[in-house]
């Protein structure tokens, strides 16, 4: 599942994100669920990620780019901003960079 999700995220980043243990914990945290709650399928995880994207974390990322202006055209694209959310969720889930 991990490899396929990474390929999908590379091919269509505006729609897919990688299946990542830290990001899964982060999604649960921002959606106010138990951090260790399991996702039965990738589709369930992707739906939860999309709720985070449509909710406060995603909105804060979009607002930040709007307020501060994108440095280049890529930074204003949803595919890039969804990746920013993915990294944010990994950090919320306990990943240290």
Helices (H), 1-97: 2-11, 21-30, 42-54, 56-68, 78-92
- pLDDT score of 52: 97
- Predicted confidence band of residue 26 (pLDDT cuts 50, 70, 90): very high
> How confident is the model over 9-21, as pLDDT tens digits?
999 999 999 999 9
- Is residue 34 scored above 90 in pLDDT? yes
> How confident is the model over 37-93, as pLDDT tens digits?
999 999 999 999 999 999 999 999 999 998 888 888 888 899 999 999 999 999 999
Q: Is the dihedral of CA 45, 46, 49, 55 positive or negative?
A: negative
Residues 6+ apart with CB under 8 A from 88: 26, 57, 61
- pLDDT score of 76: 86
- pLDDT score of 86: 96
Measured CA to CA, the distance from residue 94 to residue 89 in angstroms comes to: 9
Domain extents for the chain?
A: 2-92
74, burial (CB in 10 Å: exposed 0-12, middle 13-18, buried 19+): exposed
């Amino acid at each position: 599942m991990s490899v396929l999700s990474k390929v999908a995220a590379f091919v269509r980043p505006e729609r897919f994100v990688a299946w990542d243990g830290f990001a899964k914990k982060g999604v649960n945290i921002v959606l106010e669920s138990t951090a260790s709650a399991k996702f039965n399928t990738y589709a369930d995880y992707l739906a939860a990620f999309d709720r985070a994207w449509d909710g406060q974390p995603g909105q804060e990322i979009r607002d930040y780019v709007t307020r501060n202006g994108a440095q280049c055209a890529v930074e204003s694209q949803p595919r890039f901003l969804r990746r920013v959310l993915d990294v944010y969720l990994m950090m919320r889930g306990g990943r240290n960079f």
